[in-house]
Structure 1
Amino acid sequence: MLKHLPKMPKHYPFIILGSGQAAPPLATSLTSLHGPSTTLIIEKSQIGGTCVNAGCTPTKTMISSGRIAYLSSRSSEYGISTVKNGVDMNTVRRRKRDIVTSFRSGNEKRLERAGVVVKYGVGRFIGPKTLVVRDRDGVEEEVTGGTVFINTGCRPAEPDLPGVETVDKARVLDSTSIMELDEVPERLIVVGAGYVGLEFGQLFRRLGAEVTVVGRGKQVLGREDEDVAEELGKILEQDGIVLELGMDTVRLENIDEGGMKIKLVYKPTGGGEEKSVLGSHILWSAGRVPNTDTLDASKAGVKIDKRGFVECNEYLQTTAEGVYVLGDVKGGPAFTHISYDDFRILKNNLIDSKVTQLSTTNRMVPYTVYTDPQLGHIGLHEHEARKLQPARNIKVAKMPMTWVARALETDETRGLMKAIVDGDTDEILGFTCLGIEGGEIMSMVQIAMMGKVKWPQLRDATFAHPTLAESLNNLWGSLE
């Protein structure tokens, strides 16, 4: 009688765990060189990861709706009369869903055309470069890879607060579930004064909610210079947002008072009397958690740090041979463009096999916070520049947006520009624009920094008038 031999695991030259922004271009680059069916993507939910499905694409789509609401409310300032028809959240949500579907399906079609194999399920290591994939029906399949890439990303942190279990779960929101609301919350409590909390807080304030932001730090956006954060705080308060900063959350309470269902109790960091705020909903935006808890990474020889992030070197190599990591699951700047740059590094080093190896060392990390006005930043902040060793002759230029002709013409004068330079070499070390199209102005300065352009060249450049760009002529007059 013949014995049934054990089924051999399917082997792929390349396996990518997770389909965030780095995965589709990495997968298609690999298949273009090695042929179709050589690359496997294991994806838990939807192609595109956080950015396409629950991050950049949907949030910025909804924020554009918030901006239209804001401009409509100011129409009389421009001499225009409008009829206020209110906010249709179903239309806002449908527009968001349609754009997400378009972006996601585009990625899916590119992967299909390239011959990338996609398995929907959760992958976990059972040995070096060996994984078990559990699909959506609970069926498990063993696969092996020649090279494995971990790209599993992060997810919103869950509230860790006494009393959370007593509150209606539908009213406790994260950055994903808040975008699926079919009505504007009457009063929204936002826990966390970082990028996510401020963007959503301002969005829903503009859509009609009363908003209170409770943050642990003494300022909004803790990494920014104090003067920039203070200016953004003033803008948010002008929009009607209540800021409670320097506060520790204490507990949640289930209530029913005047239509409000949640009470958040908090107190000053370091001690003090308890305070509270009532809300119809609460957004928990106090951090994100790396998706490594189901990986069983140790079985592959991949080291995870105490915070749950995958450890790697500057070439994105993990502690296991032939296993690499991309995106925010490795910690560090949690931006889509950094994830894509991780792909660029690995493409150069592994696919193009360039002699000059690229690394993450000293790469530029631009970012834009999509409050309105935007906050775009590149390079060093002032507080970082003043700590450089050896010390440098730090000079600072700062100019309010009320000095920018284009901002005056559009009546969008809130905010400021700030540049950090070396007074001896004229090198631009850092730049922040909190203002209309702040991310675009920041990108102009980034290009200057990439090209080693000194600040006097921007001062003396001929920019078209009237543009926002020409503000880079005038900024340096305040250098000191």
Structure 2
Amino acid sequence: MTTIRFDDIIIGAGQAGPSLAGRLTQAGRKVAMIERKLFGGTCVNTGCTPTKTMVASAYAAHLARRAADYGVEIGGPIDVDMKAVKARKDAVVAKSRNGVEGWLRGMENCTVYTGHASFESANEVRVGDQLLSAERIFLNVGGRAVKPDLPGIHEIKYLDNVSMMDLDVLPRHLVVVGGSYVGIEFGQMFRRFGSEVTIVEKSSRLVSHEDEDVSIAVKEILEKEGIHVRLHAECIHFHAHGTDVSVGVECHDGDPEVLGSHVLLAVGRRPNTDDLGVEKTGLKLDEHGFVVVDDQLRTSVPGIWAMGDCNGRGAFTHTSYNDFEIVAANLLENSPRRVSDRILAYALYMDPPLARVGMTEEEVCKSGKPALIGTRPMTKVSRAVEKGESEGFMKILVDAESKRILGASILGVGGDEAIHCILDVMYAKAPYTTIQHAVHIHPTVSELIPTMLADLKPLT
């Protein structure tokens, strides 16, 4: 078999891969891009793009039902056409996916291969009956939903985050197993579409990695919309009940079983590294299957890098894209950018959204740092009140000695945008007074951040 030689091979056309291909080909490198299924990766096909498109449809339905709160009369009930919701989502996704694929196929010095890639050696990759080699290989293979081995799971039909978005009918009663980001977003979304929804979580609270006040507020917002929340679900199990599914929860309170028409499993994700043939390379994986990388995303094997969800260093679209930037900067710009330069930042796209940067209050307390804290309810934010969306609160934590911001949470309308003025000051390593003394536009959500910073108190 003839080996086809390249300068670089990129496995996976998610957020990091195509952009890296663009930079490498511009630098005169001959690149092979391999994608086995959907161009654009998780974000474009089964993550951010489709879910936020559906969240927008759910928000429209929710707002229509609240029209009278704004003095607007709408005659008759608000119905949701799930076939139209799905068609809108599919159209948005297809445009993004086709854009990525078209860009790669039209890229000079880039050859696109469609098929499953597996290593033959540390510098050789097989795609179907073709053998490719390169001095540098970049993994951007992403991840997928965990399929937990819970009792009775093989006896029922269930959905994951991918198949959930293929529904074009409305579940009568959706039972969501998992009370974190994926579960909450889908739970609220389908409640607003018109389903009865129960969220089952084995922990003592939702989004348990967040501060307790955030978890409590999230639960209150969801329950206000009629979502049932079952916590302390210590022994989750399933069995068929006619055409329905019985979900055993054995919680501290309430019925020991929940009967639903559909079950969504939202209990985490795992990297797509188990079928790459990494055993032929000496590539080191951790106990969860993530590729072990250093601060510049180099793996244990010289000449191989890992970016995006498969390296366990971010699992967000923005961190995946930043992985590309780090790799490109080190290889092409002689700029030693590092993963450790990155400040933790992410958002939960329920409504209102939860935006987070840096450390939680609990983490600051455990660190022993002398710190200050400021809080403001969204009911004090004029823009939120005017929009009729004043649920939630904002919170910020500051190092009492250096005056640098340690972290912040904004659970409230526009919080996913307003958080960036805090994040940018953190990257600048500037004191919190930089924001406190700034004059923000009125009426905005951001304008309450300086007010909050003017009323800091010692964290006890």
1:325 is aligned to 306
> In structure 1, what is the Cα distance between the partners aligned to 2:200 and 2:299?
37
Aligned length in residues: 455
Question: Map of 1:324-343 to 2, 5 A cutoff?
Answer: 324-343=305-324
2:98 maps to which of 99, 105, 124: 105
2:140 is aligned to 151
Give 1:424 deviation, angstroms. 2.3
1:372 maps to which of 351, 375, 396: 351
Report the 3-state secondary structure (helix = DSSP H, G, I; strand = E; otherwise coil) of the residue aligned with 2:95: helix
Report the 3-state secondary structure (helix = DSSP H, G, I; strand = E; otherwise coil) of the residue aligned with 1:303: coil
Preserved contact between residue 356 and residue 408 of structure 2 (Cα < 8 Å): yes
User: Is residue 271 of structure 2 the alignment partner of residue 290 of structure 1?
Assistant: yes
1:214 is aligned to 200
Question: Map of 1:170-181 to 2, 5 A cutoff?
Answer: 172-181=158-167
1:275 is aligned to 256
> In structure 2, what is the Cα distance between the partners aligned to 1:274 and 1:87?
30
Task: Please give the TM-score of this superposition, normalised by the length of structure 2.
Answer: 0.96
1:122 is aligned to 116
1:226 is aligned to 212
1:63 is aligned to 55
> In structure 1, what is the Cα distance between the partners aligned to 2:74 and 2:255?
44
Preserved contact between residue 415 and residue 445 of structure 2 (Cα < 8 Å): no
Give 1:456 deviation, angstroms. 2.8
1:3 is aligned to none
> In structure 1, what is the Cα distance between the partners aligned to 2:409 and 2:384?
16
Give 1:387 deviation, angstroms. 2.1
1:411 is aligned to 388
Aligned partner letter, 1:180? D
1:50 is aligned to 42
> In structure 2, what is the Cα distance between the partners aligned to 1:145 and 1:274?
59
- Deviation by residue 1:453-477 (Cα, 9 ceiling, x = unmatched): 3223323321121121211132135
- Over the aligned positions, Cα root-mean-square deviation in angstroms equals 1.6
Task: Note closer, same or farther for the CA distance 1:367–1:273 as it changes in structure 2 (3 Å cut).
Answer: closer
> In structure 2, what is the Cα distance between the partners aligned to 1:60 and 1:274?
33
1:264 is aligned to 247
Task: Please give the TM-score of this superposition, normalised by the length of structure 1.
Answer: 0.92
- Deviation by residue 1:44-63 (Cα, 9 ceiling, x = unmatched): 10111000011000000000
Give 1:222 deviation, angstroms. 1.6
Task: Note closer, same or farther for the CA distance 1:273–1:94 as it changes in structure 2 (3 Å cut).
Answer: closer
Question: Map of 1:331-480 to 2, 5 A cutoff?
Answer: 331-352=312-333, 354=334, 356-388=335-367, 391-480=368-457
> In structure 1, what is the Cα distance between the partners aligned to 2:74 and 2:251?
43
- Deviation by residue 1:125-163 (Cα, 9 ceiling, x = unmatched): 1212112112xxxxx221111100111110011242222
> In structure 2, what is the Cα distance between the partners aligned to 1:166 and 1:179?
22
Preserved contact between residue 211 and residue 241 of structure 1 (Cα < 8 Å): yes
- Deviation by residue 1:241-278 (Cα, 9 ceiling, x = unmatched): 1111121343211012xxx6100112349xx9981100
Aligned partner letter, 1:295? L
Give 1:8 deviation, angstroms. 2.1
> In structure 1, what is the Cα distance between the partners aligned to 2:153 and 2:206?
25
> In structure 2, what is the Cα distance between the partners aligned to 1:397 and 1:469?
14
> In structure 2, what is the Cα distance between the partners aligned to 1:451 and 1:321?
33
User: Is residue 54 of structure 2 the alignment partner of residue 73 of structure 1?
Assistant: no
- Deviation by residue 1:89-127 (Cα, 9 ceiling, x = unmatched): 111101101111111111112112223211111111121
Preserved contact between residue 61 and residue 78 of structure 2 (Cα < 8 Å): no
Preserved contact between residue 395 and residue 420 of structure 1 (Cα < 8 Å): yes
- Deviation by residue 1:383-434 (Cα, 9 ceiling, x = unmatched): 111222xx32111111110011111111110000000001223211111100
> In structure 1, what is the Cα distance between the partners aligned to 2:275 and 2:398?
46
Task: Note closer, same or farther for the CA distance 1:296–1:236 as it changes in structure 2 (3 Å cut).
Answer: same
Preserved contact between residue 32 and residue 114 of structure 1 (Cα < 8 Å): no
- Deviation by residue 1:142-190 (Cα, 9 ceiling, x = unmatched): 11111001111100112422222222x3xx1000111110111010000
Report the 3-state secondary structure (helix = DSSP H, G, I; strand = E; otherwise coil) of the residue aligned with 2:131: strand
| Structure 1 unpaired stretches of 5+ | 1-6, 135-139
Preserved contact between residue 13 and residue 34 of structure 2 (Cα < 8 Å): yes
Identity of aligned pairs, percent? 37
User: Is residue 156 of structure 2 the alignment partner of residue 189 of structure 1?
Assistant: no
- Deviation by residue 1:306-346 (Cα, 9 ceiling, x = unmatched): 21111111111111110000001011321010000000000
> In structure 2, what is the Cα distance between the partners aligned to 1:249 and 1:241?
21
